[in-house]
Amino acid sequence: MYKTILLLLLVLTAIIGCRREVGVIPPETTQVMPAGSYGAGADFYLLNEGNMGSNHCSLDFFDHQQGTYALNIYGSVNPAATLGLGDVGNDIQVYGGKLYVVVNESDKVEVLDKYTAVKLCQISIENCRSLAFWKGKVFITSYKGFVGVVDTLKLQNGAGTVSLDSKITVGREPEGLAVAGDRLYVANSGGYSPPIYDNRVSVIDLPGETVSRSIELDINLGDVQADNYGHIIVSARGDYGAIAPSFFVLNAVTGDLLKHVEIPVGNFTIKDSLMYLFTSPYDYGGGKNQITYETYNLKTLHPANKSFLSDKAAAKIKSPYALAVDPESDKILLSDAGDHISPGSLYWINKDGAVSWQVQTGEIPGHIAFVQ
Amino acid sequence: MSVCDQVVLSPVVVCRSIAVDDLAGVLLLNLFMHFAIKKVIQGWGVSLILLTAVSPFVSFAQKSAAVAAGHKLLGNAASKDTIHPLGDTIHLLQDVSVQAAILPQVLTSIDPVQIVTRDLPQWQDGMNAADMIRYFSGVQLKDYGGVGGLKTVNVRSLGTRHTAVLLDGLPLENAQNGQVDLGRYALSDLGRISLYKNQNSRIFQPATAFASSNAIYLETRADPLDSSRPAKGSLTLQTGSYGLTNASLYGATKWGKHWQLQGSISSLMTRGDYPYTYTNGVYDTTLNRSNGDVKRFQGRVGLYGNFDDSSTFSIVAYGFRRQMGLPGAIVSNKFTNRERQDESDYYLQTAFVKPVTVRDKLKLQFKYNRSYLRYSNPDITKLYIIKGDTIPGPLTNHYRQSSYFFSAANLYKLTKDWEVDLSADIHYDYLNMDLNGQSNPSRWTGYAALASHFDKGRLQLAGNLLYTGVYDHQQISSDWISSDKLSPSLSASWQPFATNAVKIRAFYKKSFQMPTFNDLYLTEYNQTALRPENSEQYNLGLYFYKNWQGVFKTLLLEADVYYNRVKDKIVAIPTTSLFRWQMTNLGLAKIKGLDFTAKTALSLSAWLFEGTLQYTYQDAKDYTAPGSVTYKNILPYIPEHSGSFTFAAYNKHIGFHYSFIYDGQRYSERFNSLVSYVPAWYTHDLSVSYGWQLHEGIKSTLLLSLDNVLNQHYDVIENYPMPGRNFKAGVQFEF
């Protein structure tokens, strides 16, 4: 009997002897398309938000000349960054020679080198959401009700954790922001207190860093983008029930409301005169779940009546999330977040609305920044 | 032949013999009692068919009454016992000696069962029920760290909601996350914890207990009293690492001829600021867990009556209060979280058991439970409408739940080998949440079960049919949604050889679980459309038990292989806050597994040695959407291999205990990858105790324990670090 016990103990030790730690996770590179077949275009970074609390925010990189898509590059490029990129990435943009990544639940904005993704330093800011740039300064919205300002000259390699130069108080739970001229337009959502959402756009006079006016639009304002025709487009997300999403076109100079377009926009992006958008299945209780992929002409301020995605391709997509257009070609990038828990997919759409290529991404592929 | 029925809530187990009586009269009595539940009669009709189907098995059993009686009570009860040097044994059977390591319920149960009692050395080392449950096979314990961290149990990968937790026979109303936080139940207040996979061996219980695939029975401490010891008490004081202080007082006294009064109070406080480390081989960071403080108080008082006609009555009042911080997930650059949780829970429960006739026993139980939970997050500012004014304040949510529970169970002995139970329960749950603009959900749930237990020597058969009716007031559309279903279960065990050392057992069970209030109504941002989960379990097991005279005392070997299938599995994935979960219907999960337990006891001069080895293998995969990235991936947090080994050595004064727990590698998400990979972990725990007679009638014990001896830094749940090496020192007085 003792022998049996001893044997069992040995077996036990054998099984438990090793505890495999993962260490630095290497990127997974996929040859999505033959090298050179992409044609003219730009490289880009895709930011996967990651499930909240999982610390799985990740960064992917697409090399358009090689046709390779590298999944999860941050860990191998920056192995010394404590606990990696962080939790819930919310925005990514390129400015100057740097790549800025907003990591919402990690209370920081990572500043990386644009070409190598090597970490230079980070900005400490609580509950950060989106960013915009103006004359060497970066402006970051924080859900705590302010816009943080940092001079980008401070953001050099080795600067460590940089704190904000100043804070501009805006409305409740500001989300997107965009610069037009010397003004910064900030959308306030009020998202922490449904049904008491915020409905204002705060207009900040940039040289003075003060809020010059508040424009009341509709509840739960989300994204703000500027076009080349003197417009500021602001999306309103509704209350996920009776009040439908829509978007507003403002005069970028005066801030006057030019048009309230009642298309229930989910996400949108602008290239030249066209606004590419997909609609949102906003009413979770009701049945308005049909997602359409449309374009809107910003010159004429009318729908362009042209779907950029074929029905066959649209049927593949469960939950569209990120939307971007290659600035140096006409290829459209659309991501599918799937069930928002497992990895999603990224699709390259050509001008006929068909899917040219696709690749598996990380969790919740949310934001794209082109390297230019 | 006598049947020993364990009467819940009574500290004394009564063996009774029940003779034949008028069948029709009892049937009418049953129908009269349950006339209000129409579907029961329908179920009754179906189960009559079931009973007739079972009766042919009667002729298969052939065994001599003597051997059968011996088996019935204890296995080889003729051998002498070894006196347990520490603590007391509860639920002693009259005139029968108890073998040191193996309890009678384990030996006679049809379904796989594991039991730990107070007299196990590691009991004194534990802080709460989860500390003991983690030693059971087939169990995955999810522990969010520290003393206060949420601890939930998942048996055989079915999901936490499929395991009912019953306290003194009555189901614990699901706590905020639809899961019972085992961290709330202090071991100082408990006497025994049992885990039944399927529950067909204990049929005289509320119908609700049959509704789950598995059940954990927590039984409060109830020391037996008699004329030589009319009053008992114990005081335990304990301190430990990270500011742990724990005190508990227990008392039991006889009150007159028929009554007993039992009560206990306990308090626990800890700072919970243990250090933890994260590394990837390049960076290495060590921090202290913050916001992990816990203050817990609980008190119970119970009155138990035992009358001359063998009827029993009990009434218990219980109060619990806990204030703690929610430390949150550790993510890059954010190592503190300021969320707080303040909860209280009170209940009043009464039970009345009456033998109506010689063959018939009735049990009536009632419970009223009121719980309150306040969650707050100072980092989020929200607007609240108070008396018409809009005022900003830190995010605070209040949840008030009241539940009423009534159960009636009737056990009827059809023949000396065959018992039938008819139980019917009604629950009413009401949840008051103060979220802006949401109305309060309420739910009526009715359960009716017909259970049958047939025991003829070497063959045992049991089955039950459960009817569940749920009427839910759905806050979105204000319509009452209803659902009703029938869930069957069958178990059998057979001893193929005359020596009755070997037993083969099998069971089948089909059950479903409704989404809880939290699944459906908790989120403010969107209403999740969830469907009930359906599960099917198939189990086949082999069991070997033998005891001897001499040095080697007992050996128990159990091995069960099982296949479980869960449809519409609702998976909860934690988010930044322990309080908010992401809920999704997984679709289809298929689980294959093996549970193995080996228990042995040796006695050498004055020393008793006990060893338990437990191993679980699970292959739990997601079969939801063929072609999706998660197809055939392992379910979140299910390790392929896990197990534990415990060793104890004790004599009259000294006790020594060692335990080892291993949890294999697992994945934190439905998609298995290096990113969601969570490494295996294992801990070694040691404890030493020394007991001596302090005074006439006062026994004291000194206890010292060191947990996670090798200081392994690990996460059970990704990003929720567990404590490294920590110690506890305590003293216990018994009088």
User: In Å, what is the CA distance from B449 to each residue of B83, B350, B384?
Assistant: 40, 21, 46
Cα dihedral A323/A326/A327/A331 (nearest 10):
-110
pLDDT digits (tens, 9 = 90+) for B656-683: 999 999 999 999 998 999 999 999 999 9
Interchain contact, A284 vs B527, CB within 8 Å? yes
List all residues 6 or more positions away from A30 whose beta carbon is below 8 Å from its beta carbon.
Answer: A68, A69, A71, A359, A360
Percent pLDDT > 70 in chain B is 78
Interchain contact, B671 vs A342, CB within 8 Å? yes
Which residues from A are below 8 Å from B328, CB to CB? Answer: 53
Which residue in B588, B128, B106 sits closest to B320, CA to CA? B128
Cα A252 off chain centre by = 23
pLDDT digits (tens, 9 = 90+) for B485-522: 888 999 898 988 877 788 899 999 998 887 776 666 65
Q: How far apart are CA A294 and CA A227, in angstroms?
A: 17
pLDDT digits (tens, 9 = 90+) for A197-251: 999 999 999 999 999 999 999 999 999 999 999 999 999 988 877 788 899 999 9
Tell me the β-bridge partners of B462: B453, B491
Compute the average pLDDT of residues B185-207.
84
Which residues from B are below 8 Å from A339, CB to CB? Answer: 584
List all residues 6 or more positions away from A208 whose beta carbon is below 8 Å from its beta carbon.
Answer: none
Nearest CA in chain A to B583: A341
Q: Please indicate if any CB of chain A lies within 8 Å of the CB of B668.
A: yes
The predicted structure's pLDDT at residue B7: 25
CA distance B436 to chain A (A): 7
The predicted structure's pLDDT at residue A83: 92
Encoding tokens for residue B733? 């007085």
Interchain contact, A108 vs B332, CB within 8 Å? yes
How do A221-226 and A231-236 pair as beta strands? antiparallel
Q: How far apart are CA A332 and CA A329, in angstroms?
A: 9
Q: How far apart are CA B303 and CA B317, in angstroms?
A: 9
Q: Which of A25, A51, A85, A124 to mutate to test the interface with B (most CBs of B within 10 A)?
A: A51
Interchain contact, B332 vs A56, CB within 8 Å? no
pLDDT digits (tens, 9 = 90+) for B411-427: 999 888 899 999 999 98
Compute the average pLDDT of residues B586-615.
89
The predicted structure's pLDDT at residue B598: 93
The predicted structure's pLDDT at residue A82: 92
Interchain contact, A23 vs B329, CB within 8 Å? no
Q: Higher confidence at residue A92 or residue B181? A: A92
Interchain contact, A284 vs B582, CB within 8 Å? no
The predicted structure's pLDDT at residue A291: 85
Is the confidence at residue B43, as pLDDT, over 70?
no
The sign of the dihedral angle between the CA atoms of A165, A170, A174, A176 is negative
The predicted structure's pLDDT at residue B443: 82
CA distance B383 to chain A (A): 6
Which residue in B514, B346, B522, B354 sits closest to B433, CA to CA? B522
Given a contact cutoff of 8 angstroms between Cβ atoms, the answer to whether B447 and B210 are in contact is: yes
Q: How far apart are CA B624 and CA B633, in angstroms?
A: 10
Q: Which of A54, A104, A111, A336 to mutate to test the interface with B (most CBs of B within 10 A)?
A: A54
Is the confidence at residue A285, as pLDDT, over 50?
no
B485: amino acid identity, one letter: K
Which residues from A are below 8 Å from B577, CB to CB? Answer: 53
Enumerate residues 229 to 268 of chain B having a beta carbon within 8 A of any beta carbon in chain A: none
Is the confidence at residue A148, as pLDDT, over 80?
yes
Instruction: Report residue B651's pLDDT band, with 50, 70 and 90 as the boundaries.
Output: confident
B14: amino acid identity, one letter: V
Cα A121 off chain centre by = 20
Using CB atoms, which residue from B555, B574, B613 is nearest to A53? B574
Interchain contact, B629 vs A360, CB within 8 Å? yes
> Three-state SS for B370?
strand
What's chain A's Rg over C-alpha atoms?
22
Is the confidence at residue B401, as pLDDT, over 60?
yes
Which residues from B are below 8 Å from A192, CB to CB? Answer: 380-383, 395
The predicted structure's pLDDT at residue A140: 96
Percent pLDDT > 90 in chain B is 34
List all residues 6 or more positions away from B600 whose beta carbon is below 8 Å from its beta carbon.
Answer: A1, A5, B101, B552, B553, B554, B555, B556, B610, B611, B612
In sequence order, which ranges of chain A are alpha helices (DSSP H)?
2-16, 74-77, 311-316
Compute the average pLDDT of residues B230-243.
90
Interchain contact, A342 vs B630, CB within 8 Å? yes
What mean pLDDT, rounded, does chain B reach? 78
What's chain B's Rg over C-alpha atoms?
25
Tell me the β-bridge partners of B469: B446, B484
Which residue in B404, B399, B474, B473 sits closest to B431, CA to CA? B399
List all residues 6 or more positions away from B320 whose beta carbon is below 8 Å from its beta carbon.
Answer: B184, B296, B297, B298, B299, B343, B344, B345, B346
Compute the average pLDDT of residues B238-255.
92
Interchain contact, B669 vs A342, CB within 8 Å? yes
Enumerate residues 282 to 341 of chain A having a beta carbon within 8 A of any beta carbon in chain B: 284-285, 338-339, 341
Enumerate residues 368 to 387 of chain B having a beta carbon within 8 A of any beta carbon in chain A: 379-385
Q: How far apart are CA A118 and CA B639, in angstroms?
A: 36
- For A19-43, the DSSP string reads -----SPPPEEEE-S-TTTT-S--E
Encoding tokens for residue B22? 């008028």
Instruction: Report residue A336's pLDDT band, with 50, 70 and 90 as the boundaries.
Output: very high
The sign of the dihedral angle between the CA atoms of A281, A282, A283, A284 is positive
Is the confidence at residue B543, as pLDDT, over 50?
yes
Q: How far apart are CA A244 and CA A224, in angstroms?
A: 18
Residue that has been written with the tokens 């990572």 in this structure: A110
Interchain contact, B333 vs A360, CB within 8 Å? no
Indicate the pTM of the whole model.
Answer: 0.83
Q: Is B627 left (phi over 0), alpha (psi -120 to 50) or beta?
A: left
Interchain contact, B643 vs A52, CB within 8 Å? no
> Three-state SS for B280?
coil
